[in-house]
Structure 1
Amino acid sequence: MDVIDRKILAELQEDGRLTVTDLASRVGLSVSPCHRRLRELERSGAIRGYRAVVDPESVGLTFEALVFVTMRQEDRDTLLRFEEAVAGIPQVVQAQRLFGDPDYLLRVLTADLAAYQRLEDDHLSALPGIQRLTSTLVMKQVVESRPVPGGSPR
């Protein structure tokens, strides 16, 4: 990955809807070489996809919780079943396996506290292998979805 590839990544992280023509102009290439580089970045997995960033509040998801999960069992099958089950819960918008205790961190969005309580009672508490769930409420977002640092030559 060279400086031009990093410029392409930086520009697309700022505006993923750029046309190839606009992108080429911003990174100092003609359209054809820019298009080839873009396809190679996609093929290699450096660019994993494109999507709109939706404001949760605008779609009625005003309640956010971070859920720390401590596992009772940590054998391979239990962890795989847990991760598969978590992936099937749409309100879990991010899930990370951690070193140490707790074992997982889940970011959960719901409409309100009552909806979160139902989600925890009906789904989260029934996840395979869990020993304990500890929730904390998000007061406000301070840094949100910033570009990946390695994607910018700046």
Structure 2
Amino acid sequence: MSEQVLEVKLDHIDRKILEILQDNAKTPYSQIASQLGISEATVHLRIRKLVNAGVIKRFQAVVDPEKVGKKVTAIIAVIAVPQKYGQVLKQLEKMPEVYEIYDVTGEYSTILKVRVKSKEDLAKLIDEIGGIDGVESTKTMYVLRVIKEDTRIRID
């Protein structure tokens, strides 16, 4: 389960490009070049380098879940049988309602962030997760309000 991740060395140009793209991935290369005082070709090469190094995983639109019918968000803490933990994670990964899976320390094996259309759908999902072979128990926290949720990563 442990994965060695090598940190990529970024200079101030790379950092600025990443800030701009995180605010708006559709920013034209010409605009980035103008802002940074470099050529468009340099911007293109820098972005390609960042993609190839895995710093930029993908370009995507950030969608408001409620506006597309995913009105219920919940956090589910799962306790799994250690010998079956890998199998449990594989089953959780297959579930489209599970948006984030965190392998954590402490009393729980994993923490999930899920999004569904209704409380009824949440109840079904909790039953489905509880029915996975190797899941000992779950604890669900229904999200009442989102105070802060940011997909951007601060680059120091």
With the length of structure 1 as denominator, give the TM-score of the two structures: 0.90
Q: CA deviation at 1:82?
A: 1.2
Alignment match, 1:69: 78
Which runs of structure 2 are paired with 1:28-67 in the superposition (5 Å)? 28-67=37-76
Distance 1:138 1:118 in 2: 17
Q: Which runs of 4+ in 1 moved over 4 A?
A: none
Alignment match, 1:127: 132
**1:106 partnered with 2:112:** yes
**1:138 partnered with 2:119:** no
Distance 2:93 2:70 in 1: 19
Listed as ranges, the gaps of 5+ residues in structure 2 are 1-9
Q: CA deviation at 1:31?
A: 0.5
Which runs of structure 2 are paired with 1:71-90 in the superposition (5 Å)? 71=80, 73-75=81-83, 78-90=84-96
Distance 1:27 1:20 in 2: 11
With the length of structure 2 as denominator, give the TM-score of the two structures: 0.89
Q: CA deviation at 1:112?
A: 1.0
1:23 partner SS? helix
Question: What amino acid is the match of 1:66?
Answer: I
Aligned to 1:93, which of 91, 99, 106?
A: 99
Aligned length: 147
Q: CA deviation at 1:146?
A: 4.3
Q: CA deviation at 1:127?
A: 2.0
Distance 2:62 2:117 in 1: 18
1:149 partner SS? coil
The answer to whether the 8 Å contact 2:78/2:111 transfers is: yes
Listed as ranges, the gaps of 5+ residues in structure 1 are none
1:139 partner SS? coil
Question: What amino acid is the match of 1:74?
Answer: P
| CA RMSD across the alignment | 1.2
